[in-house]
Amino acid sequence: MSQKVRTALITGASAGIGQAFAEHLAQQGYALLLVARREERLKELAAELKQKYAIRCDVFAADLNDPKAPAAIISYAEKQGIEIDVLINNAGLSGKTAFAETPWEQLSAEIQLMITSVTELCHRVLPNMKKNGWGRIINLSSLAAFSPPGASLLYTGIKHYVLDISQSLDMELKPFGIHVTALCPGFTHTEFHDVMGTRDAANKLPAILWQNAEDVVKEGWHAVMKGNPVCVPGVVNKVLASTIRPMPVKLQYYLGKNMNPFAH
């Protein structure tokens, strides 16, 4: 009897870390459902991966700023007979203007994209994962989650939320064979800074602070398969995170799991 081919849903899959995850999982024989706004780029990537690795690769163009997008993605998967075994919540952006001067619609979209849609997609894929007794979820947080708040930025607070909720879900779901990991990369060579208009500032940073998307993905995937709830990829980033937050991440996780006064 042949082993079931597992399927990974990847958001923000058209470039950067999302694309690197698609390549990494395709190489391991996973079927893929790729989601991003750029449909043509998704189709090109899907064609490349199908030809290179002989896998099934579906695409669904969606803007996760839209509150209806998570439900639409899962509805599409169900209609195609796709069961989601792996979820990579990668789509993201960062505002770059003062909070008070930014239109609410723009701030709301940022929250929808990186908090609400991330949480909703986790919730929507869990029934199937629990039924099968196996699942893997990686939520893209950031080294910024360990940092003090930045003036005008929702980004650090949002990424801190992703870090915390990922650990909380992992505590709940591990007994069901489901691992949840917050992947917290630092500066990574992707299109992110071009899209955000911060490329010039980013280029002034020392080379030692930068990682390639492929290295981030390898560490993140190893962490979720091993059952580590938090992954800070790269030696430099690990040092920075431990310096910024004196209490080790593993100790925070242990205390959160075992000394939560609000636990049922």
Report pLDDT digits (tens) over 8-66.
999 999 999 999 999 999 999 999 999 999 999 999 999 999 999 999 999 999 999 99
Q: Tell me which of 8 and 236 has the higher pLDDT.
A: 8
Mean pLDDT of all residues in 203-230: 86
| pLDDT for residue 97 | 85
Average pLDDT, the chain: 89
Mean pLDDT of all residues in 199-224: 77
Mean pLDDT of all residues in 224-231: 98
What distance in Å separates the CA atoms of residue 142 and residue 124, rounded to the nearest whole number? 23
Q: How far is CA 133 from the centre of its chain?
A: 21
| pLDDT for residue 195 | 47
* Planar angle of CA 257, 260, 261, nearest 5 degrees: 160
Length of the chain: 264
Residue 168 has pLDDT above 90, yes or no: yes
What the chain holds in terms of domains, given with CATH numbers, is 7-258 (3.40.50.720)
Three-state DSSP class for residue 110? helix
Task: Give how far Cα 59 sits from Cα of 1, 26, 38, Å.
Answer: 29, 14, 10
| pLDDT for residue 153 | 82
pLDDT bracket for residue 258 (50, 70, 90):
confident
Helix pair angle (69-79, 117-132), 10° resolution: 30
Three-state DSSP class for residue 9? strand
Could you read off the pLDDT of 108-132 as tens digits, one per residue?
999 999 999 999 999 999 999 999 9
Question: How much is the pTM?
Answer: 0.88
Radius of gyration of the chain (CA): 18
Could you read off the pLDDT of 91-105 as tens digits, one per residue?
998 887 889 999 999
Residue 263 has pLDDT above 60, yes or no: no
| pLDDT for residue 14 | 94
Instruction: State percent of the chain over pLDDT 90.
Output: 70
Q: Decide: residue 185, CB within 10 A, 0-12 exposed, 13-18 middle, 19+ buried.
A: buried
What distance in Å separates the CA atoms of residue 198 and residue 205, rounded to the nearest whole number? 12
Q: What's 14's DSSP letter?
A: T
Could you read off the pLDDT of 200-212 as tens digits, one per residue?
555 555 665 668 9
